[in-house]
Structure 1
Amino acid sequence: MMTRRQGLITAAALGATGLSRGAAAQGAAAPATAPTVRTPVNFQVPPGACDCHTHVFPDPQKFPFWSGRVYTPPIATADDLLNLQRALHLDRVVIVQPSVYGTDNAATLDGLRQLGARRARGVAVIGPQTTAQELDRMQQAGIRGIRVNLETGGITDPARAAQVLEAALAQIQGRPWHLQVYARLPLIEALQDRLSGLPMPVVFDHFAGAQASAGVDQPGFAAVLTLVRSGRAYVKISGAYRASEEAPDYPKVAPLARALIEANPDRIVWGTDWPHPDSAVLAGRAATDIAAPVPVDDGRVLNLLTDWAPEAAVRQRILVDNPARLYDF
């Protein structure tokens, strides 16, 4: 019999349990997420700029959470996301399916519908039960890739990770999609050869899992740089707070960002990770308790891009050109 932890690992990584929306026990609606742009943007954001990593968490009475989730976020609607876009002077956005919904992408797809095809694209989480017809409908709705969340799933064994990746690849074979991977650096290094040979782009979340305190020489980071330099992988310079606790400017993140950009500015995209969900498993906090978001000043973090990429032409590639290519805007 599969234990709850085994089920969580599989579902968080690939959504393999196939639990329905109605399976999640729901409480009252959580309080709405507060605005996160406290510092005005201080540079000219180019037209068509894209936030490549966000989530939406609408009313759980309409879009229930998965019962096996490890945290419960506050409400963060598509309207809230649009307000963030306007405050940051951004024109495009990518909504990524979060682990709290398992393989039920309804909330993500509804967010895409509300924001419209000119502004929004999405990344889904699928499982073995996801049909080709469902994938076709996702394509029409704006989905351009799938996410394999090895980190939240607790998968650190390369052999097990390879199995999960192969299952995902088999399902989307032949589609013009990419594979988004959230994993630790040692796991990426162990899978480097396999990842470099994928027939589709691979995209690493959140600085590819690098930790700022360990610097650019930390084990596994060289493998990421090699994949980026060769054009075989994209990296999201997103969620700086996940790489460092030195808010609000995360100074030790800068060397990581600069190294990735220098390796290949045509394979770097930027994102907020809004609304900054706190997915940590904390003593005394049940998975059904509302987890307050990590406090982040999104305006201040966007301004850091002028330090990481001082040249406007490079920021154009990171904010506009690369997302347009990757997400088919």
Structure 2
Amino acid sequence: MFTRRGVLLSSIAGAVVLSNRFAVGKAAQPATPVNFEVPADACDCHTHIHGDPEKFPFFAGRVYTPELASPEEMAALHKALGIKRVVIVTPSIYGTDNSATLFGMKARGSDARGVAVIDDKTPESELDAMKAAGIRGMRINLATSGVSDPAIGKQRLLAAIERMKTRGWHIQMFTNLPLVSAIKEVVASASMPLVFDHFGGAEARLGLDQPGFADLLDLVKAGKAYVKISGAYRASTQGPDYPDAAPLAKALIAANPERIIWGTDWPHPDSVTPPGRKPTDVTPLYQIDDGRLLNQLAVWAPDAAIRKTILVDNPARLYGF
């Protein structure tokens, strides 16, 4: 369903080939104009920076290796989309090293916020420094780390809540609906905002009755969780307009528009290493048309006031813009 580059582009001037034969490709840029008026101070709430691995080394235990994606490419993306603000999330390829995220945030100045990945070895002094730089949340990634045991997921969430209870950060989770059901009561009683990535892990092909989706809707309706209607291509099997994801998005928005935020998931990494290749082999980025992706928000939320809530008001409240 996706158009991927068959080969990686050669590095600039053909001169830079890193020790792992990492060639510099180009992240996607919008091909379709946005067909609605994007409100002032709109925010893309889910992006990543993939820096030069000589400056920002990848985590040795990563499960995939993406092409690079720079702050300059991200700025071009948002200029084309008419989006001012951005939230940069540390991807699993860096483990608990948030340097590339902070690098990207610095390039965007006051228009950027970040979500970091930490562990129990991350000192409080480092958290203080990251807060001063604009980090506003921590991410628990259970999807690409292979965690499927609800007990383990619940334990990690409880530890995160304990760590964050006096810091004022939110907790963001990349997970699946069975785990959402398993941690529903923990989320409902948490003292800080909880945010679920990418439709909470819902699969569009399974519809509104899939196990766990009702629990996700309950949390949203009660104001106990935010959901990112981000990276629709992850939930959908019907690109490039993702019509099968529309019922999920509409149901989440109807449950509580004040707990929905939107994001591209740029630069659209493919987090699954193809069979026969190693995690250290470079996997091309998906070539997603983010103009066409943003246009789906007008389908999911036809009312301009609700789009402003999703694109401006909710991110401003959650990330402290």
Please report how far the alpha carbon of residue 30 of structure 1 lies from its aligned counterpart in structure 2 after TM superposition.
3.1
Q: Distance in 1 between matches of 2:67 and 2:53?
A: 10
* Cα pair 1:33 1:275 within 8 Å, conserved: no
Q: 1:206-217 alignment to 2 at 5 Å?
A: 206-217=198-209
Q: Does 1:109 align with 2:102?
A: yes
Question: 1:79 and 2:72 equivalent?
Answer: yes
Alignment of 1:100-249 (within 5 A): 100-117=93-110, 119-249=111-241
Q: Which runs of 5+ in 1 are unaligned?
A: 1-24
Aligned to 2:9: none
Aligned residues of 1:29 and 1:61 also touching (Cα < 8 A)? no
Superposed CA deviations along residues 188-238 of structure 1, whole A, max 9, x for unmatched, are 011101111111000000000000000111100000000000000000000
Provide closer, same or farther for how the CA distance between residues 194 and 26 of structure 1 changes in structure 2, counting only shifts above 3 A: farther
User: CA contact under 8 A between 2:28 and 2:287: conserved in structure 1?
Assistant: no
What is the aligned partner in structure 2 of residue 17 from structure 1?
A: none
Paired with 1:314 and 1:174, the residues of 2 have a C-alpha distance of: 32
8 Å Cα contact 1:240/1:250 also seen in 2: yes
Deviates more, 1:255-264 or 1:36-45: 36-45
Q: Which residue of structure 1 aligns with residue 311 of structure 2?
A: 319
Q: 1:284 Cα deviation (Å)?
A: 1.2
2:27–2:285 Cα contact (<8 Å) kept: no
CA distance in 2, matches of 1:167, 1:180: 13
**1:28, CA displacement in angstroms?**
4.2
> Alignment identity in percent?
57
Corresponding residue of 1:41? 34
Letter in 2 for 1:188: V
Q: Secondary structure at the match of 2:249?
A: helix
- Deviation of 1:281 after TM superposition, in Å, equals 3.2
Match of 2:294 in 1: 302
On the 8 A contact 1:26/1:61 being kept in 2, the answer is: no
Aligned: 1:27 with 2:20: yes
Shift, 1:42, TM fit: 1.1
Contact 2:233 2:242 in 1 (8 A): yes
| Superposed CA RMSD | 1.2
1:171 CA displacement: 2.1
Note the C-alpha offset of 1:245: 2.3
The match for 1:282 is 274
In 2, Cα distance between the equivalents of 1:307 and 1:115?
29
The residue identity in structure 2 corresponding to 1:57 is H
Report how far residue 323 of structure 1 moved.
Answer: 0.3
SS at match of 1:116: helix
- Partner in structure 1 of residue 6 of structure 2: none
Moved more, 313-322 or 189-198: 189-198
Q: What displacement does 1:29 show?
A: 4.2
C-alpha contact (below 8 Å) 2:154/2:182 kept by paired residues: no
Whole-angstrom CA distance in 1 between matches of 2:57 and 2:154:
31
Kept in 1: contact 2:178–2:212 (CA 8 A): yes
Q: Classify the secondary structure of the residue corresponding to 2:244.
A: helix
Letter in 2 for 1:280: V
Shift of 1:240: 0.6
CA contact (8 A) 1:26 1:65 kept: no
* Residue identity in the other structure for 2:240: P
Gaps of 5+ in 2: 1-17
1:271 corresponding residue in structure 2 = 263
Aligned to 1:5: none
Write the distance in 2 (CA, Å) between the matches of 1:50 and 1:158: 32
Q: Which amino acid aligns with 1:91?
A: K
Residue 144 of structure 1 aligns to a residue whose secondary structure is strand
Equivalents in 1 of 2:23, 2:308: separation in Å?
37
Once residues 246 and 237 of structure 2 are traced to their aligned partners in structure 1, the CA distance between those partners, rounded to angstroms, is 13
How much has 1:326 moved relative to structure 2? 0.4
